[in-house]
Structure 1
Amino acid sequence: MQRDMDARPEFVRLCDAATGRISWQEYQRETVQKGFITGMLLHIVEQADILCTTPSLSCDLPYRTWKRHARGIAVDEAGNISRPDLYSAWGNTLLPCLLSSDEKQLRPHVTTVYDPDPNNAINRFAQDGLVSPLEFFTASGWPIYRLCVQLRMARGLFDTCHRELYSDLPFTYGMGSNLSLHSIGVQLETYMTRRFPGLAPSSVGTLSEVFVHCKGTTCEIDLMTGAKKNPDQVDNALDFLSDFVRTTGADASRLAIITPYRANVKLIAERRKAAAARYALLSAMRPAETVDSSQSCEADVVVAILGTTEAVGPGFTNDDHRFNVMLSRQKSGLIIFGDINVGTGTRVVGEVGAEHYAKGKMMHKVLRSLHYQRRVVTLPPRRGT
C-alpha cells in the first residue's frame, strides 16, 4: 500500500509534506484534491487488520462493510455503554468478544432515572438501562481476568478506592508506583506540608490525597437545569495551582482539573481567560473536564473541585461510581477542593435537575476518613476580602 501511494503522481505533494521535504505552508498552496484523499482513506480502511470505531459509526459506511467480515470485536469502556450499543457492534453471530472496563466506575448514561410524571416514573426501565454489558455478562458467568497490580498510581494513592470499593480483591503496587518515579507528587506533598503546618504527612514511602475545605463558599444552581457552579472553590483551586507552580517550578502541563458539573467547567475556562495574566503560569495546563469526560485522560496531579456545599447537598457526586472516577484520575497526586461537610447530606439533585434522596455512601466515608487522618486543610472565606 505504501509503494502504491509513492508511485501515484497525485500523492507526490502529500508525501513530500509527510516526509518533511516541503513545509505545511508550502503544501497548502497546492493541496491534493479531496477526492484522492477520500479514496486513500477508504483504501486504508479496506486493508486494515484492526479498525477502531464507536458502536454508532460501526453501523455506517464505510465501516459497516468492514464489520461484516470481522472475526471478533474488543470493546473498551464496556462498563460505560448500554447493551444495545454493544449489540449494534457485535451483531447476532456470536463473534469472539473481549470486554474491558471497570463496572465500579461510570455506568451507562440514563438521564431519566429519577424523573417522574404525576403518577409514575417516566422511564420504567431506567434501572435496567444502568446495567452495562460488562455487568450483565459478569453476572451471566463469563470468565473474568482481573488486574490485581496497580501500575499507574504512586504507592498509597489507590488505597482509598481499594478500601471503599475493591476490598474483596487483593492487589499490590507495581514497580511503576515507587515514589522515585513520581517526583511531582513528592513535590506536591512537600509543598502542602510546608504551606499547611497542621497537615499530617503521608506515611513513609507513600503519598495520600488531601482535602481542601473552602469555608464560606456559595454553590450557584441554575433553576432550569440544576447545573451547579462554585466561584470561590474555583478561584481557590486556580490560585492554589498557580502558587504551586510558582513555588516549585512544576510543569503546568502535568496538572489537570476535573469537576462534576459542566457549569463549573465553563466557569473555570472563563476565569482562566478573564485573568490570563494572573494565571499565566497555568497556560500549559489543559482545559478542565467533567468527571464523565475525564475517562482515559489521567494526569500526574489532579485537582478535583466538588462545587457543592453542605447547604445544597452533595449532588450527583454522591454516586459511588462517579466519585470513584474522581478519586482515580491521578498518577502522582490528588487534591480535592470542596466543603468537608457536604457528604453528610442526603438530598441529591441530578445534572438535569431531577431530585431524589440517597444515603451518604462512599463520599461520606472518604471525607470522614481524611478528617480522621488529618489530611484536611482549611482555606478562609474569600467574600469581602
Structure 2
Amino acid sequence: MNRADLYCVWGNTRSPCFLFGDPKQLPLTVLTTKDKGDGDNFLNRFLRMGNGLFDMVSRIIYQGVLHVYATSCNVATASFDSSRALENYIQEKYPTVTPSPEGKLLPVFIHTPGARVHTDDTTGSKKSVDQVTIALDFMVDLVKSKKIDPSKLVVISPYAANVELLDRMLRKNAAYEALKGIPPASTVDSFQGQENDIIFVVMGTAYPRPGPEFTSQEQRLNIMLMRR
C-alpha cells in the first residue's frame, strides 16, 4: 500500500468504509452510472481472464504478488472459443511461433520493423498507417479463416490519432468489410472497465524514434495488457 491508497470515511452510523487503490493502474475513470450487472445491480465487474494472460503482467508489474486463476479462467471452456481459434490460427499461419503451454493462452506480439510513425506537431499524438494496416489485415484474415464474429474483437491504441485512423480505415476501406460489426476503436483510457474475447493493441510507436514515450508508463501498460 502507498500513502493515500487507503482512506477511512465515517458515516452517520460511524461504521468505517475502506477504499483500496492500486498504484499499478491508471486513475479511476467513471464512464457510466446506469449500466447494471447480475442481480439488477450497478456493480461493473472484471469477469474473466484466460489462464496465462495475466502471467506476463504478474511477472513484470506485480512482482511478489501471488495470483491464482479461478475456475472461470479455464481456457478449455466455451467462453474462450474465440481465443482458442486465434491460437490455432497463429499455429497454422506462423508455424515457427512457439505455441502456448497446455492449459494456457499467452499474448501474441507482432513486430513491425520499418513501420513509419507520424507525430502531430500540435498535439503530439501519434499514428502509424503501416501498423494499422498490418493489424487490420491480420484481423480480416483471422475472421475469414476462423469464422469469428467481429463483435468479439476490439482494437485499442494509446493515441487518439491512431484511434481516429483505425475508425476511418474500418469505415471507408472496402478491404475491411469482413470486420463490419466490430466495436469502435478506443484509446486505452476510454476502454477502462471493458473487455472482449480478443483485444488488439496497436501501439503507434517505433524505436528509436519517436520512442515509447508515455506508453512506457507502468500503469498504462498494465491497462493495455489486461483488457482481455
Which range, TM-score by smaller chain?
A: 0.7 to 0.9
Residue 205 of structure 2 aligns with which residue? 308
Mapped to 2, the partners of 1:192 and 1:279 lie a distance apart of 20
Mapped to 1, the partners of 2:187 and 2:53 lie a distance apart of 21
Residue 56 of structure 2 aligns with which residue? 160
1:169 aligns with 2:65: yes
Q: CA deviation at 1:167?
A: 2.5
Mapped to 2, the partners of 1:234 and 1:98 lie a distance apart of 43
AA at the equivalent of 1:300 = D
Give per-residue Cα distances to partners, 1:103-143, cap 9 Å, x unaligned.
Answer: 3111369xxxxxxxxxxxxxxxxxxxxxxxxxxxxxxxxxx
1:102 aligns with 2:22: yes
Q: CA deviation at 1:224?
A: 1.2
What is the root-mean-square deviation of aligned Cα atoms in Å? Answer: 2.5
**Would the aligned equivalents of 2:10 and 2:17 in 1 still touch at CA under 8 Å?**
no
Where in structure 2 are the equivalents of 1:216-365 lying within 5 Å?
216-275=114-173, 277-310=174-207, 311-330=209-228
**Would the aligned equivalents of 1:245 and 1:281 in 2 still touch at CA under 8 Å?**
yes
Instruction: Count residues with an aligned counterpart.
Output: 204
| Structure 2, gaps ≥5 residues long | 30-45
Q: CA deviation at 1:96?
A: 4.4
Which secondary structure state, in structure 1, belongs to the residue aligned with residue 197 of structure 2?
strand
AA at the equivalent of 1:231 = V
Mapped to 1, the partners of 2:131 and 2:177 lie a distance apart of 19
Q: CA deviation at 1:215?
A: 2.2
Give per-residue Cα distances to partners, 1:270-314, cap 9 Å, x unaligned.
Answer: 111111x32122111100110111111111100001100012100
Mapped to 1, the partners of 2:81 and 2:211 lie a distance apart of 36
Judged with a 3 Å threshold, the aligned counterparts in structure 2 of structure 1 residues 108 and 184 are, in CA distance, closer, same or farther, namely: closer
**Would the aligned equivalents of 1:151 and 1:177 in 2 still touch at CA under 8 Å?**
no
AA at the equivalent of 1:292 = D
Q: CA deviation at 1:102?
A: 3.0
**Would the aligned equivalents of 1:217 and 1:309 in 2 still touch at CA under 8 Å?**
yes
Higher helix share: 1
In the superposition, the TM-score normalised over structure 2's length comes to 0.82
Q: CA deviation at 1:258?
A: 0.8
Which secondary structure state, in structure 2, belongs to the residue aligned with residue 211 of structure 1?
coil
In the superposition, the TM-score normalised over structure 1's length comes to 0.50
| Structure 1, gaps ≥5 residues long | 1-82, 110-149, 331-385
Which secondary structure state, in structure 2, belongs to the residue aligned with residue 172 of structure 1?
coil
Which secondary structure state, in structure 1, belongs to the residue aligned with residue 142 of structure 2?
helix
Residue 60 of structure 1 aligns with which residue? none
**Would the aligned equivalents of 1:151 and 1:173 in 2 still touch at CA under 8 Å?**
no
Mapped to 1, the partners of 2:15 and 2:147 lie a distance apart of 52
AA at the equivalent of 1:199 = V
Larger radius of gyration: 1
Identity of aligned residues (%): 38
Give per-residue Cα distances to partners, 1:203-246, cap 9 Å, x unaligned.
Answer: 11111001101122111001111110011101111111111000
Mapped to 1, the partners of 2:20 and 2:93 lie a distance apart of 41
**Would the aligned equivalents of 2:119 and 2:125 in 1 still touch at CA under 8 Å?**
yes
Q: CA deviation at 1:183?
A: 1.6
